Structure 1
Amino acid sequence: MKSNHFLKFALSAVLVGTIVVSCESENNEEIDLIDTQVRAKLESLGFNTDNLTEDSLNGVDGFTVEGDIFLTRDQINEMAPASGVGTEHYRTNNIVGPDGRVVSVYMDAAFNSTMQAAFDDAINRYNSLNLDITFQRANSSGADIDILSQKLKRVRGGGVILGRSAGFPDANGDPATPIVLNSDIYNPRRGGIPADAATVIAHEIGHAIGFRHTDYDQREFSCGRAGNEGDAGVGAVYIPGTPTGPEAGSWMLACSNGTNRPFTSGDQTALTTVY
Structure 2
Amino acid sequence: MKKQTLSVLFCLMAVFAIVSCNKNNSTTESKPQEVSDATLAQIKAYGFSTSDVHATDGGVIVEGDIFLSHDQLSQKVSGPTLQVANTEQYRTTNLVTGLPRTITVLVTGLGSAFIAGTDTAIARYNALGLRIKFQRITSGTPTITIQGFNQGPSGGYITLGSSGFPTSGGAPYNLIQMNTNAAAYGSNPNVLYVGSVIQHEIGHCIGMRHTDYMNRAYSCGGTATNEGSAGVGAIQIPGTPSAADPNSWMLACSNGGNRTFNANDIIALKYLYN
User: For the residues of structure 2 that align with 1:110 and 1:77, how far apart are their CA atoms?
Assistant: 32
Instruction: State the Cα distance separating 1:83 from its structure 2 match.
Output: 6.8
Indicate the residue corresponding to 2:89 in structure 1: 89
User: For the residues of structure 2 that align with 1:187 and 1:2, how far apart are their CA atoms?
Assistant: 9
Measured against aligned partners, the alpha-carbon deviations of 1:138-160 in whole angstroms (never above 9, x if no partner) come to: 1126300000111134343x122
CA contact (8 A) 1:241 1:269 kept: yes
Residue 266 in 1 paired to residue 264 in 2? yes
Indicate the residue corresponding to 2:44 in structure 1: 43
CA contact (8 A) 2:152 2:181 kept: no
Gaps of 5+ in 1: 20-25
Which residue identity lines up with residue 177 of structure 1 in the other structure? Answer: N
Indicate the residue corresponding to 1:192 in structure 2: 188
Give the TM-score normalised by the residue count of structure 2: 0.84
Give the TM-score normalised by the residue count of structure 1: 0.84
User: For the residues of structure 1 that align with 2:7 and 2:47, how far apart are their CA atoms?
Assistant: 23
- Judged with a 3 Å threshold, the aligned counterparts in structure 2 of structure 1 residues 77 and 260 are, in CA distance, closer, same or farther, namely same
User: For the residues of structure 2 that align with 1:71 and 1:131, how far apart are their CA atoms?
Assistant: 28
Indicate the residue corresponding to 2:149 in structure 1: 150
Indicate the residue corresponding to 1:244 in structure 2: 242
Which residue identity lines up with residue 41 of structure 1 in the other structure? Answer: Q
Which residue identity lines up with residue 127 of structure 2 in the other structure? Answer: S
Which residue identity lines up with residue 227 of structure 1 in the other structure? Answer: T
Indicate the residue corresponding to 1:55 in structure 2: 56
CA contact (8 A) 2:94 2:170 kept: yes
Secondary structure of the structure 2 residue equivalent to 1:40 = helix
Which residue identity lines up with residue 65 of structure 1 in the other structure? Answer: V
- Judged with a 3 Å threshold, the aligned counterparts in structure 2 of structure 1 residues 257 and 83 are, in CA distance, closer, same or farther, namely same
Instruction: State the Cα distance separating 1:86 from its structure 2 match.
Output: 4.3
User: For the residues of structure 1 that align with 2:245 and 2:30, how far apart are their CA atoms?
Assistant: 32
| Amino-acid identity (%) | 39
User: For the residues of structure 2 that align with 1:115 and 1:240, how far apart are their CA atoms?
Assistant: 33
User: For the residues of structure 1 that align with 2:117 and 2:168, how far apart are their CA atoms?
Assistant: 30
Count of aligned pairs between the two proteins:
258
Which residue identity lines up with residue 187 of structure 2 in the other structure? Answer: G
Residue 209 in 1 paired to residue 209 in 2? no
CA contact (8 A) 1:45 1:230 kept: no
Instruction: State the Cα distance separating 1:187 from its structure 2 match.
Output: 9.3
